Amino acid sequence: MITQSILEFLDVLPEGGRLAGLDVGDKRIGVAFCDAMWTIATPAETLQRQRFTQDANWFREQFAKQSVKGIVIGLPLNMDGTDSPQTQSIRAYARNLDKAFETLPILMWDERWSTAAVTRAMIDADLSRAKRAERVDKAAAAFILQGAIDALAAAC
């Protein structure tokens, strides 16, 4: 099941359980996980995109290790809330994940400010451009996931 509704997502999730956050880009996918109580999202990995089957196998292994119960994917919208040119690509990726992980619900979460916010925080922390490039995708995934779990906590 794929939804943009926090209430629909909450309705199909088991009580508690770890969630995975994904920031899907053209070349890389930032990955983050939260704790089972949905309090804090932590950056985990940056996956270099390959063929979908290879990505799915990697996710299958990681999701099993982390006991993931649901997936939150950043949805790149325009500033006015309409679909961006990349929105369709991300929706297609989510549909492929839905087919690969039929038992895991997927929440599409507005990611308009994620990369900008994370990049600004890294600049403020005086990280070099190289270190920012290395960390921004997984940090953006954590930012996206944190927004979703904060909304989940508020909805409970």
Please state the domain extents for the chain.
Answer: 2-155
Higher pLDDT, 127 or 16: 16
Residue 83, beta-bridge partner list? 77
Contacts of 124 by beta carbon, 8 Å cutoff, 6+ apart: none
Judge contact between 4 and 108, C-beta under 8 A.
yes
Each residue of 38-84: pLDDT tens digit?
Answer: 999 999 999 999 999 999 999 999 999 999 999 999 998 887 888 88
Please tell me the distance from the alpha carbon of residue 71 to that of residue 52, in angstroms, as a whole number.
Answer: 16
Dig out the tokens for 115 from the structure.
């990369």
37 φ, ψ (degrees, to nearest 5): -95, 0
Q: Checking DSSP bridges between strand 28-34 and strand 41-48, what pairing results, if any? A: antiparallel
Q: Tell me the pTM.
A: 0.86
**Model confidence pLDDT, tens digit, residues 128-145:** 655 555 566 888 899 899
What's the CA gap between 114 and 119, in Å, rounded? 8
Predicted confidence band at 35 (pLDDT cuts at 50, 70, 90)? very high
Q: What are the tens digits of pLDDT across the range 77-103?
A: 887 888 888 899 999 999 999 999 988
DSSP 108: E
For residue 124, is pLDDT > 70? no
- State the pLDDT at residue 80: 85
Residue with tokens 């906590």: 153
> What local confidence, expressed as pLDDT, does residue 142 receive?
93
Instruction: Considering only residues 13 and 105, tell me which one the structure prediction assigns the higher pLDDT.
Output: 105
Q: Which two tokens stand for residue 68?
A: 């993931």
pLDDT band at 125 (very low <50, low <70, confident <90, very high): low
Superfamily of domain 2-155: YqgF/RNase H-like domain (3.30.420.140)
Separation between Cα atoms, residue 139 and residue 131, nearest integer Å: 12
